[in-house]
C-alpha cells in the first residue's frame, strides 16, 4: 500500500514514515502543508493519504475537500491532536475514511491502517462512538452548528471574545498554539471576517458568545 504523509511537524512526519516503512508500507512522499499535499497526491497517486488536520496554508480538511473535488481514488485519513466532535463530523462528511489521534500507540495505529486494506474505516471504537453521538445530537438533528462553527471553534471563539491570547487559549483548551491558529483561520473563513477583532465583535453582536464585564486573566 502506497502512503503519502502530510504533517506540519517534521519530527512527527519523519517518525511516522519510519514506522510505516518498518511495518511494510511504502511511503511515496512526505509534505508539510496543505498545498503541497494536494500537489503530491495528484502527482504520486498514493493509495492512502495521512492528512494532518492542522496543516498550514490550506488546512487538512480543506485539502481533503479539494482532493475529493478533483480526484476520488485515494483513501484519506485525518490525523489530529484535538478531540473535536465538530471536526470529526466535518472530516467524515468531506469524505475521510478515517480519523486518528496522534496519541495512538504505534501498534494501534498500524492496526487501523491494516483495517483500511480490508475495507474498514480507520477509526477507534471510542471515536466511532463520538461520531454516532455527534450525528444524533439535538443541534445536529436541527441541521447545523451555529454559523457552521464546530463545538471546539465556538469554545475558542468565546475565549477570543474575552481577549485571550493564542497562548492563553492553547493552555485553556489543552491545544498547541499551531492548532489554535488553525481553528482561528477556520473561524475567520466561516464568519467572513478578516481578523480576530472582527470575529469577536461579530460573535458578541450576534449572540454566539457572551462576555463578562471583567478583564481576562493573564
Give the domain CATH number at 94: 3.40.50.2300
Mean pLDDT check: name the lowest of 40-49, 87-96, 164-173, 206-215: 206-215
Q: How many angstroms from the chain centroid is the CA of residue 199?
A: 20
Same domain, 122 and 194: no
Residues 129 and 188 grouped into a single domain:
no
The residue segments making up the domain with residue 120 are 2-135
Domain membership flag for residue 212? no
Tell me the per-residue pLDDT of 18-67, one tens digit each, with 9 for 90 and over: 999 999 999 999 999 999 999 999 999 999 999 999 898 888 888 888 88
- pLDDT, tens digit (0-9, with 9 covering 90-100), for 85-126: 778 888 887 888 899 999 999 999 999 999 998 888 899 888
Grid cell digits, residue 201: 465583535
Q: Tell me: the pLDDT tens digits for 124-147?
A: 888 888 777 766 655 544 434 566
Buried/exposed 178-190: b ≥16 CB within 10 Å, e otherwise: bbbbbbbbbbbeb
- Cβ 46 vs Cβ 29: under 8 Å: yes
On whether residue 216 sits in a domain, the answer given is no
Whether 211 is covered by a domain: the verdict is no
Residue 215 has pLDDT above 60, yes or no: no
Q: Which of 59, 57, 88 is nearest to 152 (CA)?
A: 88
Specify if 114 maps to a domain.
yes
Amino acid at each position: 500500500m502506497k502512503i503519502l504523509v502530510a504533517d506540519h511537524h517534521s519530527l512527527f512526519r519523519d517518525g511516522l514514515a519510519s514506522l510505516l516503512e518498518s511495518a511494510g508500507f511504502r511511503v511515496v512522499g512526505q509534505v508539510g502543508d496543505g498545498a503541497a499535499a494536494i500537489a503530491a497526491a495528484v502527482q504520486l497517486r498514493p493509495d492512502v493519504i495521512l492528512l494532518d488536520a492542522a496543516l498550514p496554508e490550506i488546512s487538512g480538511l480543506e485539502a481533503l475537500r479539494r482532493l475529493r473535488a478533483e480526484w476520488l481514488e485515494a483513501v484519506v485519513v485525518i490525523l489530529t491532536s484535538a478531540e473535536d466532535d465538530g471536526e470529526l463530523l466535518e472530516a467524515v462528511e468531506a469524505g475521510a475514511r478515517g480519523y486518528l489521534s496522534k496519541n495512538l500507540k504505534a501498534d494501534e495505529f498500524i492496526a487501523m491502517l491494516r483495517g483500511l486494506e480490508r475495507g474498514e474505516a480507520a477509526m477507534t471504537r471510542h471515536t466511532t462512538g463520538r461520531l454516532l453521538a455527534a450525528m444524533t445530537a439535538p443541534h445536529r438533528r436541527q441541521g447545523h452548528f451555529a454559523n457552521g462553527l464546530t463545538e471546539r471553534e465556538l469554545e475558542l471563539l468565546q475565549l477570543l471574545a474575552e481577549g485571550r491570547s493564542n497562548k492563553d487559549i492553547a493552555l485553556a483548551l489543552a491545544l498547541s498554539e499551531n492548532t489554535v491558529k488553525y481553528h482561528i483561520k477556520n473561524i475567520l473563513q466561516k464568519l467572513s471576517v478578516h481578523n480576530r477583532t472582527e470575529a469577536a465583535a461579530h460573535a458578541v453582536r450576534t449572540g454566539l458568545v457572551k462576555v463578562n464585564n471583567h478583564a481576562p486573566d493573564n
